[in-house]
Structure 1
C-alpha cells in the first residue's frame, strides 16, 4: 500500500540506487512545461539534457520525472542545478517524512501523495520537489499515477493565477493538489467505515474486525504523512530566503488550513474505528454471555431429570427368588411406574422453566 525503500545498513551517504522493475532499470518519463502569461511550451523529452536550455529566460520551467529507474538522470540534474547528493539520495529512498530543507539557491520539498487505485485500495507514493528561482523539478515514483492533472489543465487553459505567477506559486499549486487528494480518499474511507458500523450493529463478524484493523492501519499511515505536511506548509509560509514570495505565502495559508482539516478527519475516523472495535468486543462478550446463560439454564433443567433417570437406572432387584426386598425400588413392578416417572420428570422441567421465568433468568 505505502511503499518504503530505506538505505542499506552501512551504505555510504549519498549513494544513488535505482528502483528496479523485474531486476532491470527503466528509463523514466520526462515532461517539460515552459510558460509565462502569454506563451506555453509542453513536451515530452527523451534526454534530460534537452531541457537544460530553457532555464536562461524569465519563464517558469517545470520538469516532471515519472519513475526512479535511471540514476543518471538525477546525477545530470544534480550537476546542472547544483543539487546536493543527500537530497538526491532522499529522492530515491522513498518513505521519507514530508519536509522542507533549505539549500543554497533552492528548496528541497518532500510530500506524500495518497490516491485510490483501480481496486479502490489506498496507495501512496513519494513526490520530491526542487524549487529554484526560475525552475521547479518534481520527481515521482510511478508514471501511472499522478495528482497533477488539474494543475496541468490550469496551465494549459491559462485560468486563474498560475500563468501570472512564478515558480513558487507552481510549487504551492502542486503541494495543494497533493493535499487535496487526501479528501476523496478520506471520504471513501468514511463511507466504508459507516457501512461496517451498520453491519456491526446488526451482525458483528470477524471479517468486520479484520477490515477495521486494515482501516486503522491506513489511518495511522495517513496521520504519519499529514502531520508533517502541516509543518511543510508552515515552513514555506515562514521561508526567508526569498524563494517563496509574499503573495504566494497568502495562498499557503489555505494549504495549511486544508492540512488541519485533514488531520481532524483522520483523528475522527480513528476514534470511530477504535469505538467500533470496542463495540465488536463488547458484542462478542454479550453473545457469549447469552449463550452461556441458555446453556446454564438447560443444564439446570436436566440436573434433576438426570438424577431421576440415574436413580431408576440402577435396577436393584425387588425380589430375589422367594425373598422380597421392599426397600430395593418397589416401583420397578408397578404397572404404571414408567409413565409416572416420566410424568414427574415433565412436571419438574415445567416447574423449573416457570421458576426461571419468574426470576427473569429466561
Structure 2
C-alpha cells in the first residue's frame, strides 16, 4: 500500500519512464499474488464443503478462518490492482499534459518565427535597384536595415503580446503550480 501511495505522488510530481516501469512492476507482482491465492482459496473452500469424515469440525472452523483470510487478501489485491490501473491513467494524463505544453510552446515559437523568416527571405533575395526602380527602394535607404529589423522586432513583440493576452504563455506556469499544491 505504501509503495502505491509513494508511486502516486511520483506520478503527479515527476512522471518518468522509471515511474512507468515501477507501475508495471507492481502490477506484475499483484497479478502473481492473485494467481497464487486464487487456487488456495478454491482448495480451502473445497475442503470445507467436503463431507469427508477425515476433517474434524475443529479443523473445518480453522479452514473457514483460512478461507475468510484468503478472500480478504483477494479483495485487497483487487483493490490494489484498481489503484494501479488508476495510477496508469494518471500517468498517461500527466504525460499527455506535458506533451500538450511542449506542443503549445513549439507552436508559439513557430508562430513568431514564421513571419520573421518570411520578411528575412524577401529581403534576402538581393534585388538590384539599379536595373528597375520597382525593386525594393528601401534597400538603398540609409535607415533601411534598422527599419527592417525594427519591423521584425515589432512583429515578434506583437505576437508575444497576442499570445500572452490569450493566456498561452501563462497556462504552463499555472499548471505547474497546481500540480505542486
* TM-score tier after normalising by the smaller chain length: 0.7 to 0.9
Q: Distance in 2 between matches of 1:247 and 1:302?
A: 82
Aligned counterpart in structure 2 of residue 332 of structure 1, from 100, 125, 139: 139
Deviations 1:310-333 (A, max 9, x none): 11101111114xxxx221111111
Match 1:199 to one of 2, 5, 10: 10
How far did 1:261 drift? 1.0
Structure 1 unaligned segments of length 5 or more: list them: 1-189
CA deviation string 1:146-170 (max 9, x = no partner)? xxxxxxxxxxxxxxxxxxxxxxxxx
Deviation of 1:193 (Å): 2.0
Query: CA shift at 1:266, angstroms?
Result: 0.5
Larger radius of gyration: 1
Tell me the CA shift for residue 204 of structure 1. Answer: 0.4
Superposed displacement of residue 359, structure 1: 2.2
State the partner residue of 1:293: 104
Q: Tell me which residue corresponds to 1:183.
A: none
Partners of 1:208 and 1:239 in 2: CA distance: 47
Per the TM alignment, residue 238 of structure 1 is displaced from its structure 2 partner at its CA by: 2.3
1:357: how far off?
2.0
- Find the counterpart in structure 2 of residue 313 from structure 1: 124
Q: How large is the Cα RMSD of the aligned pairs? A: 1.3
> 1:208-257 CA deviation, whole Å, 9 max, x = no partner?
11121121112111111212222222222223222110122112221111
- Separation (CA, whole Å) in 2 of partners of 1:305 and 1:242: 92
Q: Tell me, what secondary structure is at the counterpart of 2:142?
A: coil
> SS at 1:319's partner residue?
coil
Asked if residue 208 in structure 1 is aligned to residue 19 in structure 2, the reply is yes
Q: Aligned equivalents of 2:58 and 2:140: distance in 1?
A: 110
TM-score, structure 2 as length reference: 0.88
Aligned residues: 169
The Cα shift of 1:194 comes to: 1.8
Partners of 1:274 and 1:337 lie apart in 2 by 63
Q: CA deviation at 1:285?
A: 1.4
Counterpart of 2:161 in structure 1 is 354
SS of 1:314's equivalent in the other structure is coil
> Hey, what does 1:343 align to over in structure 2?
150
Task: Identify which of 67, 70, 94 aligns with 1:256.
Answer: 67
CA distance in 2 between partners of 1:284 and 1:337 (Å): 47
**Residue 226, structure 1, aligned to residue 37, structure 2:** yes
More RCO (CA 8 Å, sep 6+): 2
Task: Give the structure 1 partner of residue 95 of structure 2.
Answer: 284
Q: Distance in 1 between matches of 2:54 and 2:119?
A: 95
Separation in structure 1 between the aligned mates of residue 146 and residue 92 of structure 2, nearest angstrom: 49
Q: Counterparts of 2:155 and 2:168 in 1: how far apart (Å)?
A: 17
Query: Secondary structure of 2:91's match?
Result: helix
Matched, 1:267 2:78: yes
Question: d(CA) in 2 for partners of 1:297 and 1:290?
Answer: 11
Moved over 6 A (4+): none
